[in-house]
Chains A and B, each alone.
Chain A
């Protein structure tokens, strides 16, 4: 199924949103985790990202950008809000009724254990992340999308809604700042 067909099927029946969830939850979750380095915050931000997407999917027009880029854009905005406010208000867990909250919490516990083990396998990355978090958000987002997610400049520019020239200058300045920070550790 192409993205356009998927979008049409969701607009006809919102239950089909779970198909979009299956396709993109893992990559978006990974992107948020690699930006925050914290499992619990990642669950909050990722669930808010998909909740926002679910509430606005009917307004989404495919002609502008792809669904994937759109989801990355929402996720980036949510992560930036998290870094700016620190105290995160989780929309999903206030609005959603879980049929079996204990079962959900127990699955979260298992995922947390697994993800924390995974995070600690990458010491070098964790050190770079500490330095990256001390930079301004505009540098964090471009460096993370380019070097952690391996995205091309064109796609990053689409996600951040900036032109490629601005992106290149942000990347070059951000990288220089990050290198200086890393050399201090």
Chain B
């Protein structure tokens, strides 16, 4: 009974109402002209991808070498740079893109799978490429 009274009190009590907001039109205008300033770019991934592509070319033109042997040679010569490009960078990109995918799924409002894939192919591609670089590095 007490609970019912409390519920009625919540429904009946007056709540603040919003009149016409004077800043509304200017804000709408500014938002529709806004540009997305994202620093996350797939170009970061182009560095390790470029190295893998160069090593693949080296494998093709130099007999008796493999992609893995060339990669191992590079990682022993350039230890710190290879850790950054082949390990840290892909992991960072995986984390950023998984977070982005979760965010996009939420902001798309229960999208159909096909619509979701169409809108996020770019993030999924980066995820796959990052995973591929991690796999090559760990071999």
Chain A contacts to B: CB under 8 angstroms: 14-15, 17-18, 21-22, 25-27, 29-30, 33-34, 43, 47, 50-56, 58-61, 63-65, 69-70, 73-74, 77, 92, 94-100, 103-104, 107-108, 110-111, 114-115, 118-119, 121-122, 124-125, 128, 143, 147-148, 150, 161, 175-176, 178-179, 182
Contact = CB atoms under 8 A, between A and B. Distances in A.
B108 interface: yes
Given A56-B104, A61-B112, A179-B3, A92 B34 contact: yes
A37 B33 CA distance: 29
Contacts of B78: none
B111 A179 contact: no
A182 B6 contact: yes
A47 B31 CA distance: 8
Contact of A18 (B13, B22, B29, B112): B29
Contacts of A104: 23, 26-27, 30
Contacts of A34: 15-16
B77 to A, nearest CB: 42
A108 B111 CA distance: 36
Interface of B: 2-3, 6-7, 10-11, 13-24, 26-37, 104, 106-112, 115-116, 119
B105 to A, nearest CB: 9
A26 B24 contact: yes
Given A15-B32, A26-B24, A51-B31, 18 more contacts: A21-B32, A25-B27, A29-B21, A30-B18, A33-B16, A34-B16, A56-B107, A59-B104, A59-B108, A64-B109, A69-B109, A95-B36, A100-B26, A104-B23, A111-B23, A122-B13, A122-B14, A128-B13
8 contacts: A21-B24, A25-B21, A50-B31, A59-B104, A100-B26, A110-B22, A111-B22, A125-B16
Q: Which secondary structure dominates where chain A touches chain B?
A: helix
Which of B14, B24, B36 neighbours the largest number of chain A CB atoms within 10 Å of its CB?
B24
B130 to A, nearest CB: 22
A70 B108 CA distance: 8
Contact of A95 (B29, B37, B108, B110): B37
Given A115-B16, A122-B16, A147-B10, A95 B34 contact: yes
Nearest to B19: A114
A55 B36 contact: yes
A92 B31 contact: yes
B18 A29 contact: yes
A185 to B, nearest CB: 13
A52 B28 contact: no
A25 B28 contact: yes
Contacts of A29: 18, 21
Given A21-B31, A70-B109, A26 B14 contact: no
Contacts of A178: 6
Contact of B34 (A18, A30, A51, A69): A51
A171 B29 CA distance: 38
